[in-house]
Structure 1
Amino acid sequence: MSYKIVVDSCCDLPVEYRKNPKFQVVPLILEIDDNIIVDDDTFDQADYLAKVAASENCAKTACPSPELYMDAFDCDADDVYVVTLSSKLSGSYNSALLGKDLFHEEKGEKNIHIIDSLSACCGEANIALKAMELAESGLSFSDVITEVEKYRDEMATYFVLDSLDTLRKNGRLTGMKALVATTLNIKPVCIGTKGEIMQKSQGIGIRKALVKMTEIVAAEIENPETKRLMITHVNCYERACVVRDLILKKVPFKETIIVDAAGVSTTYAGKGGIVVTC
């Protein structure tokens, strides 16, 4: 059976997969002041970061319309797997569900399954790549769904950011009991728990927080030799390499991928942000 994998643009796929016809990215919209930016292949990270730095306002994002998802489902593939941002963080998941209903009403029956990643950026990408592997292995539509959701439920997402302001101002930190004092340069180590953001630990300064995060990843991961380590960075490739190397000194992984953030991840993680999923 032929297949297609549809993701929203918070999914930080490596470039080679973004160009793969098996994948289609449905873009979110980025807003900063009067600038409306489509988060697609035309996204210019350096220009966008400059606009964000120059503005007194908080950048915002808007999820794709159901019609955009419906159009993505209208293809020759027999099976369509859709991976979206956590439903606790965005309306993208619900929009995809509505797009599926619209498609069935207007086009008829088709195998379409919407997967709530319970994650973001490289977490979405990790799930999407797993769906590709499973589909390529020849499993049935229902078996791919079962296995990829099991993979999602066993996956963990961790991150350390220079600033949590954008997440806080956009209401994405409702799961955190309190924010640490930025005046003390304390950087939280955060984890995605069932799609919500929680504080796991902290460090004084970004470097100590990143080291703490690598220690947590190594301590909590099970069977790393069978899993993929993915790291999203926002314009800080060398920092991402340090994080990768610190983790690999402690535990082995089947594969490691580092990818620069697209627009949505850049908005919320901010310059210098690091997200790890495995």
Structure 2
Amino acid sequence: MWHLVADSACDLYQLEGTEGKMDFATIPFSIRIGGKEYVDDENMPVSEMLEANETHDEMAQTACPSPEAWREKFSAPGPVIAFTISGALSGCYNSACLGRDMLLEDEPDKQIIIIDTKATGPEEAMLIWRARDLILAGKSFEEIEKDLNETANRIHTCFALASYHNLIKSGRVGRLIGFIAGHLGFWGIGAGDEKGEIVIRGKARGSKGMVRFLVEEITRVGLAGKQIVISHCQNLKDAEALKAALEAAHAGIQVLIQATRGLDSFYAERSGLIIGY
């Protein structure tokens, strides 16, 4: 039995189509706002967390899963594949590596793959689905590890945020673009670079302008495959508009929409979109 495990930045709660050959689990981040801790599991009240973050002046604190939490998941019998948010944005990848090293001291022959997705949300989900398909195709441990690392370097992430409040306070984007996006009614458009860091591409006024900008950005960069995934933070309307525009621009593609879990909701903030392609 294979075991797939990811941090909660993947935006997935379950994995379908495993045909009994693997299981899937996530390990939650936690977010502390105003003295209250929100655990990013299936019971997290995302709307309450967003409102608390919007009404508290102090910077909220996020915590990634501990090495012990990873070690516990890695200890299940059989090969394991783990997926983490970009190591450039979080200590989660390092935590997973520490958890693996702890287990290997006791089980030196244990097969564990850890994939730094260099992204979050949609791209992380795409890699999980890719791993599932490779396992079902009967690929070897070595073939799967090679394929997943190559795929992680080939696919891309971009995003559109109506607010950069959290990213500014955490020092991940410049204050100027945050001011433009937050105070003048513009969407800020960004992307993840090859190191998994955030790069600002530009700005767009209004939802129609934002959708147009994203379609142009995705077309300019080029599709790595036929699948595009959109994660949205309480903004299904714009996610569906972007899906329609992408399908009109690129024949034969598959566009999937999913809601952000807690961590991606925290950073994307209300109405934000994250796209993997």
TM-score, with structure 1 as normaliser: 0.91
CA shift in 2, pair 1:51/1:184, >3 Å: closer
**Distance in 1 separating the partners of 2:172 and 2:85:** 12
SS in 2 for 1:5: strand
Residue of structure 1 in register with 2:275 after alignment? 276
Deviations 1:171-201 (A, max 9, x none): 223xx69526423333221010020000123
Whole-angstrom CA distance in 2 between matches of 1:216 and 1:54: 33
Aligned residue number for residue 130 of structure 1: 130
Say if 1:177 and 1:133 are closer, same or farther in 2 by CA, change over 3 A: farther
How far has the Cα of 1:150 moved from its partner? 1.2
Distance 1:146 1:253 in 2: 27
Q: Which amino acid aligns with 2:31?
A: L
User: CA, structure 1 residues 56+178, in 2 after alignment: closer, same or farther (shift >3 Å)?
Assistant: closer
Separation (CA, whole Å) in 2 of partners of 1:180 and 1:261: 21
Say whether residues 1:144 and 2:127 are aligned partners.
Answer: no
CA–CA distance in structure 2, aligned partners of residues 215 and 110 of structure 1: 45
Q: Is the 8 A contact 2:31 2:38 kept in 1?
A: yes
Paired AA for residue 250 in structure 2: V
How far did residue 4 of structure 1 move? 1.2
Q: Distance in 2 between matches of 1:217 and 1:209?
A: 12
1:106 counterpart = 2:106: yes
The equivalences for 1:113-262 within 5 A come to 113-173=113-173, 179=177, 181-182=179-180, 183-194=183-194, 195-222=196-223, 224=225, 227-262=226-261
Q: Distance in 2 between matches of 1:127 and 1:177?
A: 32
Change (3 A) 1:169 1:18: farther
Correspondence for 1:66: 67
TM-score by length of 2: 0.91
* Distance in structure 2 (CA, Å) of the matches to 1:74 and 1:132: 20
* Number of residue-to-residue matches in the alignment: 271
Deviations 1:140-160 (A, max 9, x none): 001011111111111010100
1:116–1:161 distance in 2 versus 1, CA, 3 Å: same
CA contact (8 A) 2:11 2:260 kept: yes
- Partner Cα separation in structure 2 for residue 122 and residue 222 of structure 1: 14
Question: Given that residues 60 and 170 in structure 1 are in contact (C-alpha distance below 8 angstroms), is that contact kept between their aligned partners in structure 2?
Answer: no
Q: Deviation string for 1:222-257 (max 9, x for gaps)?
A: 364xx3210000011111111111111001354322
Secondary structure of the 2:3 match is strand
CA RMSD of aligned residues (A): 2.0
**Alpha-carbon contact 1:180-1:187 (below 8 Å) kept:** no
Q: What's the % identity of the aligned pairs?
A: 27
Structure 1 counterpart of 2:267, one-letter code: Y
Amino acid paired to 2:77: D
Distance 1:112 1:16, change over 3 A: closer
Q: Structure 1 residue runs of 4+, over 6 Å off?
A: 18-21
For the Cα contact (< 8 Å) 1:180–1:186, is it kept in 2?
no
Q: Which runs of 5+ in 2 are unaligned?
A: none
SS in 1 for 2:48: helix
| Matched letter for residue 200 of structure 1 | R
Task: Note closer, same or farther for the CA distance 1:254–1:135 as it changes in structure 2 (3 Å cut).
Answer: farther
Alignment check: 8 A CA contact 2:7 2:27 kept: yes
Alpha-carbon spacing, 1:135–1:45, altered in 2? closer, same or farther (3 Å): same
Report the equivalent of 1:75: 76
Q: CA deviation at 1:206?
A: 4.2
Q: Distance in 1 between matches of 2:119 and 2:224?
A: 20
* Cα distance, 1:34–1:207 mapped onto 2, change above 3 Å: farther
Query: What is the CA distance between 1:165 and its match in structure 2?
Result: 1.6
Secondary structure of the residue aligned to 2:138 is: coil
Q: Tell me the SS of whatever aligns to 1:118.
A: coil
Cα pair distance change 1:209/1:254, threshold 3 Å? closer
Q: 1:19 to 1:261 in 2, by over 3 A?
A: farther
When structure 1 is superposed on structure 2, of 86-95 and 25-34 the one drifting more is 25-34
Give the whole-Å Cα distance in 1 for the aligned partners of 2:224 and 2:168.
34
